Chain A
């Protein structure tokens, strides 16, 4: 019996050691493969960004704010930290990691808001974007504080990779290169997704999420960072489907009033009327993103001038 338990114990230990080595090797390989899902994290952790202006939010931030255009108009060093998926938990974690690794704190923080997905919980979309960097203890610790990852996913070597599409698929599956300062536009034509999905949309939030968001704003304000809310463009047809848009506006207005945050609203911008600028109802395509970025940069320049 003792001999058997010893043999099994040694086998398990060897397997854990081997899997730890493989975990590190695979994570390093994925970190370095140039895929945009991991490049954003590489920028934050491994490279000095020195951003004056940081854009945070969901994919509606990542795909729609071109740092190159905003840089050239405002003269600021802009970095787009938008992340695909449901945002609030990620904003907080990603911003914590950013603050930990980057020496320079941003002067301006543009936060994308809107009736679509702002207060969703969990990390259900493209979970794999977090996997390679979870070998870093600080990142792991930050993710420990929020629900989506289980203990086993964070601490059992290789386990998290098996909870996605499978390790094999992750290593040999699709890659999406070409991230520039966190920004990657989508060069596609309108396909109607999200618009045809349902007849009506409803903006919602819960008190817990509101409190988290409030704390986040309060902490940044205390750091002396200028906060800006931005409603990025969204296809007008979808806006018309929202049955409580006034509630959404009131919600963000109350926060803006509380922390003295300027709001830049593009919900009814002329861009929103033309599907040529969108690839789906919630995201601008490359043409739309660049047109919008120019408009945004000019408007932001005015906002910055008026606030300083």
Chain B
């Protein structure tokens, strides 16, 4: 079920009303919502059961939402959930001492199990094809040709983070299987994130949620902004970008540059639009998800970009890969004793380890996106740009301040660097990416104008302006300080813009394929 579909427009209000109708009512003098079923029968049903009923609704709704696409893969989510839930309990039981060996073994079993599923469904065919081509063997009969289950990378990582956090003692394992299933499958973020941490989401399913008018309005506004980015920006950019990519070898440089710039907006509108809809929808259910994008195209260097782009994935890799590898402050004592390094060379070794760690997380980040060398190249490209900043300790220059007009040049340079990266990301093959990049410097043809490019650019500029003005807010349509009528008028205007620029065929969310 797509967020920008009629089915979802019907599904969401039904689930929303049922969810709050099953809102738990505590016994005693606590405030009891008038609309809740348990207000009347709550005396007969214990409080924790009421909460389980509400969580069960979340699980059922989420499974319907996912099963709408392909019900067969529901078993996969259920299997991942059961394995991770059990591993959490086993790790918890084995925790006689912090990070005990038995606990570690259970965690590793869960990691292997989850990564094996991911590997088979996402990477098996790719690696077999590459291996066969290396060995000059015909690959076809070894391939599985399995459809990639939507969102598998997202919920697998979420499940992994749970067992690792339990092992690390950051969270206690939950015995509530319903809450855990809801945590893995919560439909707003199930198929394209944000990748939630158990420490943030799981406790919210374990406690009673109360309806907040302000939060619901804020969520609705964020959904609207997400729809604007998806429908008006991403889908309209796609209408230009797709044909440019199909015929890129015969296009003029100006067209290719325009295609690259519009793809930069497309992928942002598509993915951050999805995240906004997900976060906004979760707010309607009284759930707070983590922020996934923080105006990434206003970044002043690539390090800042990676703090603002797909935050949930970046921090995942940071917490579970980069820091365990030593991060940017590796523990050199073991390395010194193992290799007998003299103190004069310690600094150099430290930098080498930092460079390796950086390369590893960018490579993993690239591979996470899909089984294609272009994603690997994209990861390496970003690693190479990022490395000088981290090696010279200049990667945290812009952690506190908001970008201003004075930073325009730095922002533009970063935008160009990111745009080149997206060309590699968007290409079907390394050759195709190379040809596209080379074609961008040949200005000897006609500029391809599909008749809509100017209006698409105007809409992109509008989005940039709104995001710039609202860059200190949680999301660009955060209108909480405005009068309710002003909010309604702005939202109404946005609805009309969405209708006016609705493309003929909506395109699926790009990140579904990951």
Contact = CB atoms under 8 A, between A and B. Distances in A.
Contact of A11 (B216, B452, B492): B492
A166 B491 contact: no
B20 interface: yes
A18 B492 contact: yes
A167 B217 contact: no
Contact of B496 (A10, A18, A172): A18
A168 interface: yes
Nearest to A162: B502
Contacts of B451: 169, 172-173
A259 interface: no
Nearest to B484: A7
Contacts of B495: 15
A168 B35 contact: no
Interface string B431-452: 0000000000000000000011
A1 B501 contact: no
Interface in B461-514: 484, 488, 491-492, 495-496, 499-504
A298 interface: no
Given A1-B211, A7-B217, A8-B220, A167 B499 contact: yes
A15 B498 CA distance: 12
Contacts of B488: 10-11, 14
Contacts of A11: 488, 491-492
A75 to B, nearest CB: 46
Nearest to A3: B213
B396 interface: no
Nearest to A5: B17
Contacts of B34: 1
B370 interface: no
B182 to A, nearest CB: 21
A303 interface: no
A308 B213 CA distance: 78
B30 to A, nearest CB: 17
B455 interface: yes
A158 B500 CA distance: 9
A10 B488 CA distance: 10
A67 B452 CA distance: 38
Nearest to B455: A168
Contacts of B217: 4, 7
A136 interface: no
A167 B217 CA distance: 29
B35 A1 contact: yes
A77 interface: no
Contacts of A19: 496, 499
A11 B492 CA distance: 8
A25 interface: no
A179 to B, nearest CB: 24
Given A1-B35, A18-B492, A164 B501 contact: no
A11 B224 CA distance: 13
Contacts of B504: 163-166, 169
A292 B75 CA distance: 67
Contacts of A165: 504
A15 B216 contact: no
B502 A166 contact: yes
Q: Among B20, B211, B213, B502, which residue has the most Cβ atoms of chain A within 10 A? A: B502
A223 to B, nearest CB: 40
A24 to B, nearest CB: 15
A210 interface: no
B215 to A, nearest CB: 9
A212 B348 CA distance: 86
Given A11-B488, A11-B492, A18-B492, A4 B213 contact: yes
Contacts of A8: 220
A15 B499 CA distance: 11
Nearest to A22: B496
B91 to A, nearest CB: 40
Contact of A167 (B6, B33, B502): B502
A237 B483 CA distance: 70
A8 B504 CA distance: 27
Contact of B492 (A2, A14, A167): A14
Nearest to A163: B504
Interface in A164-207: 164-169, 172-173
B453 to A, nearest CB: 12
Given A4-B213, A15-B492, A162 B33 contact: no
Contacts of A166: 452, 501-504
A193 to B, nearest CB: 21
Nearest to B20: A1
A163 B502 CA distance: 9
Contacts of A18: 492, 496
B213 A168 contact: no
A163 B503 CA distance: 8
Contacts of B211: 1, 4
Interface string B20-42: 10000000000001110000000
A158 B499 contact: yes
B454 to A, nearest CB: 10
A169 B452 contact: yes
A162 B492 contact: no
A163 to B, nearest CB: 8
A67 to B, nearest CB: 33
Contacts of A7: 217, 484
A162 B496 CA distance: 12
A8 to B, nearest CB: 7
B259 to A, nearest CB: 19
A172 to B, nearest CB: 8
A264 to B, nearest CB: 40
Nearest to B504: A165
A222 B491 CA distance: 56
A27 to B, nearest CB: 14
A169 B451 CA distance: 8
Contacts of A3: 213
10 contacts: A4-B211, A15-B495, A18-B496, A152-B6, A158-B499, A162-B499, A164-B504, A166-B501, A169-B452, A173-B451
What are the nearest 4 A-B pairs in CB distance?
A162-B502, A4-B216, A165-B504, A4-B213
Given A2-B35, A22-B496, A167-B500, 16 more contacts: A1-B34, A1-B35, A1-B213, A3-B213, A4-B216, A7-B217, A7-B484, A10-B488, A11-B492, A15-B495, A152-B6, A166-B452, A166-B501, A166-B503, A167-B501, A172-B451
Interface of B: 6, 20, 33-35, 211, 213, 216-217, 220, 451-452, 455, 484, 488, 491-492, 495-496, 499-504
